């Protein structure tokens, strides 16, 4: 595989092996390389770029040529970083933009030829499962009987209704819903109207309409009223709201990931962001020009979830598909190691990424 070409001398693998996960989404391309430790994993390298792969796709049904070039540039950067490590496991996935676009499969084939990375197109259900997997430690920390988890992406929003099992047991997915409404989709549909009172209200109303069928099936509102339900959000929108609520001069993951955001503080932070206007959002240290167009559409999703499922507070998670993939691969490797003790000493085989399914 191209990404594993020996361009430079590679360091020895850390104890337990190194694992890598790539998530190519509608708006971002992200890489995480980590080594397992007893309570999770230790990050060795990471990379994230806004690529706007889904830009213009809603109107045309196609991935735009310039968007594909941006994504390929980011994937080449990922491949170069992978080449610095000897990997025990590697998985790369693509999500909503490539699922929806008529030329999505052709783009993934081109990415494989040009970067050596074979990206697997995963289902909306697996997206929800990976989000639950990555956030399991936070859910278990909070306790409770059930959890409502939402992951706001660029092309879609995943909603997961989860049963929290006994300590040490992974959460069980009761049901999930994938809304075809992510921050890029909403930003392109509403444009500058997202900054207005009427436009924001229209976004919230549209999202609420998509959430209601899931509520009718699972009666989550009643469960929240009874108590024992953990509401957890993982997305750039919710982490931004938390950073604003905390008054951070710049974003800090160590202060945001796992933070508990009271409903009143979330409302205050949302009002602050809505008051800034586009210029103010571009200049905000926790937003910036690359994300200015997407923050308020994301806030509309948060507001809609709060309207349908009002909770006293939400847990904020700065983690997602990459972390879920890494935890799955590491768990599978530990199982292999118990059967084949030399497993962790092997480097990943030179075959396309995405084949190491757990």
Render pLDDT for 70-107 as a digit per residue (tens, 0 to 9): 999 999 999 999 999 999 999 999 999 999 999 999 99
pLDDT (average), residues 280-294: 94
**What is the pLDDT confidence band of residue 279, given thresholds at 50, 70 and 90?**
very high
241: in domain? yes
Classify each residue of 176-214 as buried b or exposed e, where b means 16 or more C-beta atoms within 10 Å of its C-beta. bbbbebbbbbbbbbbeeebbeeebbebbbebbbebbeeb
The more confidently predicted of residues 220 and 335 is: 220
Residue 154 buriedness (CB in 10 A; 0-12 / 13-18 / 19+)? buried
Indicate if 185 and 299 belong to the same structural domain.
yes
At residue 351, does pLDDT exceed 70? no
Domain count, the chain: 2
Q: Per the structure block, which two tokens stand in for 269?
A: 């932070």
Indicate if 304 and 326 belong to the same structural domain.
no
**Alpha-carbon gap, residue 46 to 20, rounded angstroms:** 9
pLDDT (average), residues 271-300: 95
pLDDT in tens, 128-175: 999 999 999 899 888 889 999 999 999 999 999 999 987 778 899 999
Per the CB < 8 A criterion, the answer to whether 278 and 195 are in contact is yes
**What is the pLDDT confidence band of residue 358, given thresholds at 50, 70 and 90?**
very low
Q: What pLDDT score does 242 carry?
A: 96
Indicate if 131 and 118 belong to the same structural domain.
no
278: in domain? yes
Indicate if 168 and 76 belong to the same structural domain.
no
- Percent over 70 (pLDDT), the chain: 89
354: in domain? no
Q: What pLDDT score does 170 carry?
A: 85
Q: Which residues pair with 166 in a beta bridge?
A: none
Q: What is the mean pLDDT of the chain?
A: 89
The CATH number linked to 6 is 3.30.420.40
Q: What pLDDT score does 294 carry?
A: 95
**Domain coverage including residue 153:** 125-317
Indicate if 226 and 114 belong to the same structural domain.
no
Q: Per the structure block, which two tokens stand in for 114?
A: 């040009």
Q: Per the structure block, which two tokens stand in for 352?
A: 């396309």
Q: What pLDDT score does 12 carry?
A: 43
At residue 117, does pLDDT exceed 50? yes
Indicate if 92 and 59 belong to the same structural domain.
yes
At residue 339, does pLDDT exceed 90? no
The CATH number linked to 170 is 3.30.420.150
pTM: 0.86
């Amino acid at each position: 595989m191209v990404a594993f070409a020996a361009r430079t001398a590679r360091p020895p693998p850390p104890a337990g092996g190194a694992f890598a996960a790539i998530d190519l989404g509608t708006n971002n391309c992200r890489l995480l390389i980590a080594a397992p430790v007893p309570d999770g994993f230790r990050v060795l390298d990471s990379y994230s770029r806004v690529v706007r792969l889904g830009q213009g796709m809603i109107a045309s049904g196609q991935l735009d040529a310039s968007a594909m070039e941006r994504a390929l540039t980011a994937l080449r950067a990922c491949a170069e970083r992978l080449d610095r490590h000897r990997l025990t496991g590697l998985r790369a996935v693509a999500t909503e933009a490539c699922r929806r676009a008529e030329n999505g499969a052709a783009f993934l084939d081109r990415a494989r030829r040009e970067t050596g990375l074979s990206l697997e197109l995963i289902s909306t259900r697996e997206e929800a499962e990976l989000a639950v997997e990555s956030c399991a430690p936070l859910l278990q920390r909070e306790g409770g009987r059930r959890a409502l988890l939402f992951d706001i992406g660029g092309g879609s929003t995943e909603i997961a209704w989860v049963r929290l099992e006994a300590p040490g047991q992974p959460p069980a997915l009761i049901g999930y819903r994938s809304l075809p409404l992510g921050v890029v989709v909403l930003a392109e549909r509403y444009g500058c109207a997202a900054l207005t009172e009427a436009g924001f209200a229209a976004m919230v109303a549209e999202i609420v309409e998509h959430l209601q069928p899931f509520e009718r099936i699972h009666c989550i509102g009643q469960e929240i009223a009874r108590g024992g339900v953990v509401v957890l959000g993982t997305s750039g929108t919710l982490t931004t709201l938390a950073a604003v609520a905390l008054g951070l001069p710049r974003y800090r993951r160590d202060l945001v990931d796992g933070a508990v955001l009271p409903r009143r503080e979330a409302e205050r932070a949302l009002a602050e962001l809505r008051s800034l206007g586009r210029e103010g959002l571009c200049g905000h240290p926790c937003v910036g020009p690359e994300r200015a167009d997407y923050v308020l559409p994301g806030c509309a999703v948060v507001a809609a979830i709060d309207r349908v499922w009002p909770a006293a507070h939400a847990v904020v998670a700065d983690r997602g598909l990459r972390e879920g993939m890494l935890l799955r691969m590491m768990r599978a490797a530990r199982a292999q190691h118990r059967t084949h003790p030399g497993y962790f000493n092997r480097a990943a085989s030179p075959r396309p990424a995405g084949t190491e399914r757990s």
